[in-house]
Amino acid sequence: MSGLIVTALVILVFIVIYQIAKASELATIIRGEENVKSQTNRLMAWLMVAFFVLGMIGIWKCHEALIGKMLPESASVQGDHYDSMLIVTLILTGFVFFVTQALLFWFIFRYQQTEHSKAFFYSHNNKLEVLWTTVPALALVVLVVIGLRNWFNVTDKAPEGSMLVQVMGKQFNWLIRYPGADGILGKTDFRLMDDATNVMGLDTNDIAAKDDIIVQNGELHIVKQHNVQLVINSRDVIHDVGLPHFRMKMDAVPGITTTMWFTPKFTTDEMKNKTGNPDFVYEISCDQMCGKGHYSMRGTVIVQTENEFKEWLSKQPAYYTGMLPAPPAAPAGAAPATADTTGAGAVTMAH
């Protein structure tokens, strides 16, 4: 029944539009085509002016309504450069937008067709074409150079003494790896990956891998005012490490290692105070559609003081320890094992 009503309404609307068009055509004939055209042109010209004014007011109102919902200030030093670049781009393009739109609507109003005016055909002007091609091109070159400078900075080798952390994407989670006391990330091999025993494919033949720490809950712990370089990989499909509060973003590609580095400015607790939100968290989002669980691939970044970070790290066990096979159960009636205090009982693993 409802379908018939909707169909009838649609047909009725078309009939009304048709009748209005016929009435307009008859009115044109009665009043004279030139007179009606002149009145229509004047009406359209004033409507265009009204549209321009209301459009500018609408843009400003949207700005006022949404500015409070924007991300807080950049939480990284490098992010400040990106924010500055965005502001410069918005000022430049905003100025050009306003000027060009104002001229467009002014020309429509000022040079509307009347009985006393006639359109002038202006076919070609080399100087104008060179001007409106060269000036935008030069402006865009400046913006591109600024963008490339920032990009090359964050993708270059991090300064000496930077914290090194590996971030690996997997459907649908982030795996975080820290070097142990040796400060070196051990080798990995994708052929060794196993969800149950070796999630990141640590190569246990490499001594540097044996003290590495792997966090599987998606928490990235870093230190305020300390450079951190992320070594980024994926173990299945293309993901993307998105750090919106730090203005950082980098693809995680299977078989390819990508990197970026930045310097956090505020701890998580400081940002809670700045935003007035006691539940504030820095987020790691996956910014690349990676499958049906993409929406749930979210982690957190916890920015701490150096002492807080050291305390947290000291409580994290080396992942290699969990990879060791459980010792065999002692047979019934056997004497209890005694501790080897000679240092001769080194742990070995078969490969």
Residue extents of the structural domains in the chain: 163-323
Pairwise CA distance, residues 293 & 240, whole Å: 14
Strand order in 163-170's β-sheet? 213-215, 173-178, 163-170, 228-234, 258-262
Q: Which amino acid is at 188?
A: T
Taking CA atoms, 142 is separated from 9, 85, 138, 139, 145, in Å, by: 56, 11, 6, 5, 5
Confidence of residue 34 (pLDDT cuts 50, 70, 90): low
Q: What is the DSSP letter of 342?
A: S
The pLDDT, as a whole number, for residue 340 is: 39
Question: Average pLDDT, stretch 294-300?
Answer: 91
Q: Is 221 helix (H, G, I), strand (E, B) or coil?
A: strand
Q: Return the H-helix or E-strand segment holding 163.
A: strand 163-170
| Mean pLDDT to the nearest integer, 82-91 | 91
Global pTM value: 0.72
Confidence class for position 31, pLDDT limits 50, 70, 90: low
Mean local confidence (pLDDT), 158-167: 92
Residue 347 has pLDDT above 70, yes or no: no
Which of 56-65, 194-203, 317-326 is the least confident region?
317-326
Q: Is it the case that residue 337 has pLDDT exceeding 60?
A: no
Which CATH architecture fits 163-323? Sandwich (2.60)
In whole numbers, what is the pLDDT of the chain averaged over residues?
84
Q: Which of 169, 258, 271 is nearest to 220 (CA)?
A: 169
Read off the pLDDT of each residue in 163-185 and give the average, rounded to a whole number.
91
pLDDT band at 189 (very low <50, low <70, confident <90, very high): confident
Cβ-contact 189, 235 below 8 angstroms: no
Q: If you write DSSP's letter for every residue of 271-311 in order, what string do you get? A: HHHHHT-TT--EEEEE-S--STTGGG-EEEEEEE-HHHHHH
Q: Give me the pLDDT at residue 259, please.
A: 94
* Integer CA distances (angstroms), 211 to 83, 141, 151, 313, in order: 39, 48, 33, 12
Tell whether the model's pLDDT for residue 266 goes beyond 90: yes
Q: Within 67-177, where are the H helices? A: 77-110, 126-155
- What's the sign of the alpha-carbon dihedral 151, 219, 212, 190? negative
pLDDT band, very low/low/confident/very high, at 342 (cuts 50, 70, 90): very low
